[in-house]
Amino acid sequence: MKNVFLAIFTLLFPALAFAQKSTDSTAMRQVTMSEVEVLPAAAKVKGMLLLNKDVQYELEGAIDNMYNFKYERAEKQFKSLRRRYPEHPLPYFLMGLSQWWKIVPTNIQTLKYDELFFAYMDSTVQKAEAMYDKDDNNVEAAFFLAASYGFTARLHSERSNWRKATVASKRSLDYLEKAKAGNGLSPEFLFGEALFNYYAVWIPENYPMLRPVLVFFPNGDKRLGLKQLSYVSQTGFYTGTESKLFLMKILANEEKKMQEALEVSEELALKYPDNAYFQRFYARLLFVNGHFTKAERVSEEILAKLEQQMPGFEAVSGRYASYILGYINQHKYRDFEKAKDYYKNTIKYAEMTNERESGYFVNSYLNLARIAKQQKDKAAAKSYYSVVMKASDKKSANYKEAKTFLKENRKS
């Protein structure tokens, strides 16, 4: 049920986050200006801090530092901006976003930064509402209200605070509709609409029971949503990296276009080598695309940074990297002792984050059982297969394999 609610909230809020403008060319589809409706409007842009080129130039390094998990350096510049623009929502939102990216690497599990995150988002709302009260056509204010309510809804939904999440989501969607008037000013405003276009179609396709709930929502267009995300990922200053992030996840998880997802992931990983989330996603995509040599190198780097206790490199990243290295040592190098050590580390990291139902946890036990069986260690194999049976769906191949082995070796 929680996943269903999260799917709804993904649709309801624009989930805007900020990133440096990307000038790199990628293999993503090209989008024409007419398709995304981004037209120059210099007169309206004037006076918007969000679109101020001098501020963007000043914040370029700070945005990079935040996404590269150099939080202290980034926040120092965000606070400097706040001193000069104390009544504008931008610096408060950036400070909140910095807290968000301290939460992300833990798979949103840590509660350590929640209070500060909510405080900064509340301040963003307060400052943006003051702007909006003066002028209800202020699309910059609407942009920040949609974004801050969106992020608030996301974290409340992760914490199962459904009432608060629902209220924030509704407000986010209302302001997203108002912020759409800024689409002709800058690609920054287009990000929320791009996500809505995609998920407004994807959610009813994948959650048919929600169709009656979503019937009153505007129609979406998945193809257009992807094109818009691609465009913003290449042209947005504040929304560029978040667009790449969503594009990568959609291509990998929803569209199953693993090679395209890998190309986007590689951009993010190379630009932000100390971002644990980008690194582990990159390692996984290298792995599933069969690039074992690169996957091995990236996974080893992840574990080295975890050992150094670098920010963001925690048990979740350790689970990804250890499993990949276990599999490579088992199947590529046939080094079963190393493989067993890595699989046991995968299990340890999964238990540290209470993710015993994850595929990495179950498959680590499954591979340990297979290695034990190959090494004629029936006692160990039975022990490992017993865990596989308990942790697997009864209709799965893993469950059937474990059940068969245990049945055949009941007396041995």
Q: What is the mean pLDDT of residues 206-221?
A: 72
* Identity of residue 167: V
Quickly count: other Cβ atoms within 10 Å of residue 352's Cβ: 13
Instruction: Say whether pLDDT at 330 is over 60.
Output: yes
Handedness of CA 63, 68, 72, 73 (dihedral sign): negative
Q: What is the mean pLDDT of residues 285-313?
A: 98
Instruction: Say whether pLDDT at 72 is over 50.
Output: yes
Could you tell me where in the chain the CATH 1.25.40.10 domains are found? 281-408
Residue with tokens 């469950």: 399
Q: What local confidence, expressed as pLDDT, does residue 214 receive?
A: 66
Residue-wise pLDDT for 117-152, tens only, equals 999 999 999 999 999 999 999 999 999 999 999 899
DSSP secondary structure string, 250-302? IIIIIS--HHHHHHHHHHHHHH-TT-HHHHHHHHHHHHHTT-HHHHHHHHHHH
What is the C-alpha end-to-end distance of the chain, expressed in Å?
A: 42
Q: What local confidence, expressed as pLDDT, does residue 218 receive?
A: 72
Instruction: Say whether pLDDT at 263 is over 70.
Output: yes
**Percent of the residues in the chain that have a pLDDT greater than 90, as a whole number:** 71
313 SS3 class: coil
Name the residue among 175, 130, 181, 166 with its Cα closest to residue 148.
Answer: 175
Q: What local confidence, expressed as pLDDT, does residue 297 receive?
A: 98
Greatest mean pLDDT range, 30-34, 159-163, 247-251: 247-251
Q: What local confidence, expressed as pLDDT, does residue 255 receive?
A: 95
Instruction: Say whether pLDDT at 14 is over 60.
Output: no
Q: What local confidence, expressed as pLDDT, does residue 93 receive?
A: 97
DSSP secondary structure string, 91-128? HHHHHHHHHHHHHGGGTT---TTHHHHHHHHHHHHHHH
Q: Rounded to two decimals, what is the model's pTM? A: 0.88
Residue with tokens 């649709």: 11
Mean pLDDT of the chain: 87
Residue 328, CA distances (Å) to 42, 164, 358, 376, 401 in order = 54, 45, 19, 21, 22
In CATH, what is the architecture of 281-408? Answer: Alpha Horseshoe (1.25)
